[in-house]
Structure 1
């Protein structure tokens, strides 16, 4: 009898912990690490597949809320649970995606229409091409204020404030 009660108590505590972990939406500390991968949270990834189901919770039994239909779309991972990653897109919409649908390849979305891609990270630099709002580009190196991006054979430097998928203080070489 005592063992059965201990088992039920353990199950109840485990369920409360799981529910709390899945519903917590408080601030994420910059030094936080994922319990599964030990990688920093939050962090950016991209959608590897042409389609990716976004679920209400971290399992196949949870309802699909919507489907991403653009390969390469940048997403921010905010939590981990087993083989599932809680993600958020540039609009703030989020849900759970299976890790096999995600890639570590960094991409960004252009937020500014007809964004000039510049030869150098300076406002007066030569314009090499222009990118429309909504273009998904591969992320290259970044300084404090500028990032190098490439899409459809064109590449150049853009202000960080004109793209989504990179942190304001992030530096990449």
Structure 2
């Protein structure tokens, strides 16, 4: 399998009493902003804005062989996962400043910095072994056989088939065989 998802040593994050008290006080102070209509309203609008102006949700891919998935949008939040696969497709489901909340093909969610994401369209094979075809037809000659978890790049999709490349092999895949596009999306 080409994908690797690694949990850092130490497992789940732990909060000491000092940090827990700080977070409680900071939370109460932030909650008090609701009592100030001018400041609270504009701050709430800024948090809900879509900083990139791009549609949400949308598919993108990981830009590096090591991408930290954090529990929140910032460097102070603990790392929950480390992705070890350049080009893996992910779905952007939320934005905050320069941080993007993503979901992977297995449903794991967390925050990554926008610099770790690439706009190119990739896919991951799901289910069972799939046959990439030389033409968008079930009886077309095979181009390659792809195991579950294999990642490749998408170039175009119609309602049923997508033109793709995996490790130098080019061909067509039925969109139901992989994760990385929306059901009625064409490009």
Whether the TM-score (by the shorter chain) exceeds 0.5 is: yes
User: Which TM-score bucket, shorter chain as reference?
Assistant: 0.7 to 0.9
User: What residue in structure 1 maps to residue 23 of structure 2?
Assistant: none
How do residues 1-173 of structure 1 correspond to structure 2 at under 5 angstroms?
A: 9-10=35-36, 13=40, 17=44, 35-172=50-187
Residue 142 of structure 1: CA displacement? 0.5
CA distance in 1, matches of 2:174, 2:180: 12
CA distance in 2, matches of 1:129, 1:66: 31
| Most deviating of 111-120 and 72-81 | 111-120
Residue 17 of structure 1: CA displacement? 4.5
CA distance in 2, matches of 1:47, 1:79: 16
User: What residue in structure 2 maps to residue 27 of structure 1?
Assistant: none
SS of equivalent to 2:183: coil
CA distance in 2, matches of 1:61, 1:163: 34
Residue 53 of structure 1: CA displacement? 0.8
Residue 74 of structure 1: CA displacement? 0.4
CA distance in 2, matches of 1:167, 1:103: 18
Q: How many corresponding residue pairs? A: 152
- Unmatched segments (≥5 aa) in structure 1: 1-6, 22-33
Is this contact kept in 2: 1:145–1:168, CA < 8 A?
Answer: no
User: What residue in structure 1 maps to residue 13 of structure 2?
Assistant: none
